[in-house]
Structure 1
Amino acid sequence: MPREVPLHGVYLPSLTLLFLLAFLLGWGLDRLFARFGLYRHAWHPALLRVALFTCLYCALALTIYR
């Protein structure tokens, strides 16, 4: 994957697209966790959401910058 992606004449870093993809994946997993009541077992659900997003974003970024 190229490190810069053209979008209407503006070059964006590919990490921007990965940020959006991680956001969508995190949102989907968040809905899944909420549906099955997994947040009852978390000490701080908001912290778990941030950690989930961070792990997804870093894992996706490693696919490019490895």
Structure 2
Amino acid sequence: MKEIDFFGIFLPPLLAYAALAGVLWYALSKVLSWMGIERVVWHPSLFNTALYVLILSGCILAVFRWGG
């Protein structure tokens, strides 16, 4: 794993994965909210946190599996 060079500032790759996961989580949470999933979820904040962690894990696994 190499650092990401952002205008001379070296950033950890986890920051990029977290940003990508955040964008995907935001889009997915809006779709799920539109579908009314919050009515059947016991604890919406816990659900959103778990959803973000799952998406972040998927992004990291996808990069290591197919991204090289």
Q: Structure 1 residue 59 and structure 2 residue 65: aligned?
A: no
Report the identity percentage. 29
TM-score normalised to structure 2 length: 0.85
* Alpha-carbon RMSD: 1.4
Give unpaired runs (5+ residues) of structure 1: none
Distance 1:59 1:23 in 2: 12
Structure 2: gaps (5+ residues): none
What residue identity is the alignment partner of 1:12? L
1:13 aligns with 2:30: no
Alignment of 1:8-47 (within 5 A): 8-47=7-46
